């Protein structure tokens, strides 16, 4: 076995004496989607914020491709090819897809001017790979559907060499067609060997989109299961009761 793309080992963090994450270990392989499930306050987002550089852990170690790394801030995370796609997507509504893709990292001509044509050409290239049906290159992203906006955010991360994607409830507030579009995007990312941590509280979405699921409750890891080996009810039991589905068989 090759080393995992990411391993978060024995991670802990407390806020005001409350253990938000308590000795949790999770990992992620290339081309795999691992769902992080749990009620609000279970610790799943806090765990991932230690990987994205938003929080610094009190304890634990992070390994990328088998090598121990230190992530003190989002810049460190990006240097390790970790990108986060938040539920809010952090897009500039008044700008088009290309301007959003290169926001803060604009391509320039030899004369130092913003090279709109080059940025649009690059955007068309990456969109052709991720979402060939995307056509609204000149519309402000405020005019795009939820799924199209999601594809712009994903394209931005992938263009800048993300190998590890953190997705926060990517299908929240999307209709069935849009949800299917995001599912297809995720399949494309998997095919390219990108690993995805998918934070969600929708058991059905995790069953549909993920290879494995890690369930948290009260800051602790209930367990990690292969999605194909469990039912929706098994996952609900882990979330609500904090019980591993195979405990009864013991």
In a domain, 30, yes or no: yes
C-alpha dihedral over 170, 176, 180, 181, to 10 degrees?
A: -70
Cα–Cα distance, 152 to 93 (Å, whole number): 12
pLDDT tens digits for range 57-88: 999 999 999 999 999 999 999 999 999 887 66
Q: Are residues 73 and 6 in the same domain?
A: yes
Q: Are residues 233 and 173 in the same domain?
A: yes
* Domain-terminating residue out of 127, 144, 161: 161
At residue 250 the predicted structure's pLDDT band, cuts being 50, 70 and 90, is very low
Share of the chain above pLDDT 70, in %: 97
DSSP 127-150: HHHH-TT---SSS-GGGS-HHHHH
Residues facing 33 on adjacent strands: 196
- Average the pLDDT over 36-42 and give the result: 91
Q: Which pair of structure tokens corresponds to residue 235?
A: 């996952």
How many domains in the chain? 2
Closest by alpha carbon to 102, among 117, 87, 88? 117
- What is the CATH number for 204? 3.40.50.300
* Domain-terminating residue out of 119, 142, 161: 161
Query: Does the pLDDT at position 249 exceed 60?
Result: no
pLDDT tens digits for range 88-128: 667 899 999 999 999 988 999 999 999 999 999 999 999 98
In a domain, 1, yes or no: yes
Q: Are residues 175 and 221 in the same domain?
A: yes
pTM of the model: 0.89
Closest by alpha carbon to 101, among 92, 109, 111, 110? 92
In a domain, 249, yes or no: yes
Q: Please tell me what DSSP assigns to residue 114.
A: B
* Domain-terminating residue out of 133, 161, 189: 161
In a domain, 185, yes or no: yes
pLDDT value of residue 247? 62
- Average the pLDDT over 5-25 and give the result: 95
At residue 131 the predicted structure's pLDDT band, cuts being 50, 70 and 90, is confident
Closest by alpha carbon to 27, among 41, 11, 38, 46? 11
pLDDT value of residue 240? 93
Q: Are residues 133 and 175 in the same domain?
A: no
In a domain, 20, yes or no: yes
Q: Are residues 64 and 15 in the same domain?
A: yes
In a domain, 209, yes or no: yes
The residue with greater pLDDT, 132 or 6, is 6
Mean pLDDT highest for which of 101-105, 167-171, 173-177, 194-198?
Answer: 194-198
Q: Are residues 211 and 237 in the same domain?
A: yes
Q: Are residues 122 and 197 in the same domain?
A: no
pLDDT value of residue 1? 61
In a domain, 182, yes or no: yes
Q: Are residues 68 and 103 in the same domain?
A: no
Q: Are residues 190 and 153 in the same domain?
A: no
Q: Are residues 67 and 101 in the same domain?
A: no
pLDDT value of residue 70? 95
Pair 32, 195: CB distance under 8 Å: yes
Q: Are residues 133 and 20 in the same domain?
A: no
Query: Does the pLDDT at position 173 exceed 80?
Result: no
Q: Are residues 98 and 214 in the same domain?
A: no
> What is the H or E stretch that residue 8 is in?
strand 6-15
Q: What range does the domain containing 106 cover?
A: 93-161
In a domain, 88, yes or no: no
């Amino acid at each position: 076995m090759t080393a995992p793309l990411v391993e978060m080992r024995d991670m802990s963090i407390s806020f005001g004496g409350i253990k938000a994450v308590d000795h949790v270990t999770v990992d992620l392989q290339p081309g795999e989607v691992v769902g992080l499930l749990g009620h609000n306050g279970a610790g799943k987002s806090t765990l991932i914020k230690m990987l994205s550089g938003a929080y610094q852990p009190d304890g634990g170690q992070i390994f990328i491709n088998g090598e121990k790394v230190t992530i003190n801030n989002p810049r460190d995370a990006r240097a390790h090819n970790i990108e986060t796609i938040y539920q809010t997507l952090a897009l500039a509504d008044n700008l088009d897809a290309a301007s959003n893709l290169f926001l803060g990292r604009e391509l320039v001509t030899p004369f130092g001017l913003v090279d709109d044509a080059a940025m649009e050409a690059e955007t068309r290239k990456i969109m052709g790979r991720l979402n060939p049906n995307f056509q609204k290159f000149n519309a402000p992203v405020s005019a795009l559907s939820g799924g199209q906006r999601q594809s712009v955010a994903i394209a931005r991360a992938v263009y800048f060499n993300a190998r590890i994607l953190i997705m926060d409830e990517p299908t929240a507030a999307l209709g069935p067609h849009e949800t299917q579009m995001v599912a297809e995007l995720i399949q494309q990312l998997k095919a390219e060997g990108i690993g995805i941590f998918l934070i969600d509280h929708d058991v059905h979405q995790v069953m549909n989109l993920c290879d494995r699921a890690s369930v948290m409750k009260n800051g602790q890891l209930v367990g990690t299961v292969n999605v194909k080996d469990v039912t929706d009810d098994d996952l609900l039991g882990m979330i609500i009761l904090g019980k591993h589905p195979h405990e009864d068989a013991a």
